[in-house]
Amino acid sequence: MTAQPMPRWGVRFTADAAKTETYVQSLFNDNAANAKRGELFLNEPRAELYYVGADGVARRVGDQDVVPFSQIDFTGLREFADDAAAASATPSVPVGGLYRTSSTLKIRVS
C-alpha cells in the first residue's frame, strides 16, 4: 500500500493578483511538496481561493462541477458500526471519508 502524504492545513496569502491557479499549478508541477492537498491559497485582490486536487490539478474553489448522486458508485463502501470502528479499520476510513452502516451512508467526523 502506498503511503498518502499528510496535508498541510492552512492558508497561504498573496496580495499579488497575478498569482492565480496557474501560479499554484506551476508550484505543484515544479515540486509537489510546494502545494499539497488540504492547503488553500488566498489571492486577496481577486477574492479567490485555490487548491490542488487529488488529481494534481490546481483549481479555484467554487469551480468544481456538481456530480449528481446517481453518477456516484457506492458499491465499494465498507460497512462499520460507527466512526470508531471506521477509524480503527485497516486501512482506516479517513476523517471526511464515506462508509456505511447497513443501508445508511455516513461520513467519518472523528
pLDDT tens figures, 44-84: 888 888 888 878 888 888 776 665 666 667 777 899 999 99
Q: Which domain holds residue 40?
A: 10-60
Task: Mark whether 20 and 50 lie in a shared domain.
Answer: yes
Compute the distance between CA of residue 89 and CA of residue 72 in angstroms, rounded to an integer. Answer: 23
Q: What is the pTM of this model?
A: 0.49
Task: Mark whether 56 and 14 lie in a shared domain.
Answer: yes
Task: Mark whether 82 and 100 lie in a shared domain.
Answer: yes
pLDDT reading at 5 higher than 70: no
Q: Determine if the peptide bond prior to 91 is cis (ω within 30°).
A: yes
Cα–chain-centroid distance for residue 46?
Answer: 22
For residue 18, what pLDDT is reported?
Answer: 93
For residue 77, what pLDDT is reported?
Answer: 85
